[in-house]
Amino acid sequence: MSTFVLNLQSSRLFERIENVESFVGEDASGSFGLRAHHERFMTAMVFGLARYRCPGEPWQYLALPGALAYFLNNELFINTRRYIRDSDYNRISEALTEQLLKEEETLTGLKQNLRRLEEAMLTRLLEIERGR
């Protein structure tokens, strides 16, 4: 069976995994699957689990807080802020729930704080403009 290369890239880690026969992920339109020699492909993956398999081995699971998937020249590139990889579905589901959801909550809080800061700056600029 034909295989391809999976490149996992995060802000802290890079892994090159040879001989991948199948990859299953999810984007906004639903689940998708990739096999060797797929046409050029790019999508934004959603928060959740993806999986891949090498011939004769069990599925490996990836917990992702969203990612960009790009398939070109028989290589799949998964770019994300962070990922967790494990062959045990229960363990990685637990890790996804605990670690990645906390990270997403923190990012949501940061975004809200930035939005409030922008609003305060605009309000102050309007006050300064009126004071002229």
Give the model's pLDDT for residue 61: 96
70 pLDDT exceeds 70?
Answer: yes
120 pLDDT exceeds 80?
Answer: yes
Name the superfamily (CATH) of residues 4-130.
Answer: F0F1 ATP synthase delta/epsilon subunit, N-terminal (2.60.15.10)
pLDDT in tens, 77-113: 999 998 999 999 988 888 877 777 787 788 888 889 9
- Tell me how far apart the alpha carbons of residues 24 and 31 are, in angstroms, rounded to a whole number: 7
pTM of the model: 0.74
**What value, to the nearest 5°, has the Cα angle with vertex 103 and ends 100 and 107?**
140
Contact 60, 53 (CB under 8 A): yes
Residues 6+ apart with CB under 8 A from 4: 20, 34, 35, 36, 37, 38, 71, 74, 75, 76
Mean pLDDT of 31-44: 97
User: In this prediction, what percent of the chain has a pLDDT beyond 70?
Assistant: 99
Give the model's pLDDT for residue 98: 78
Contact 43, 71 (CB under 8 A): no
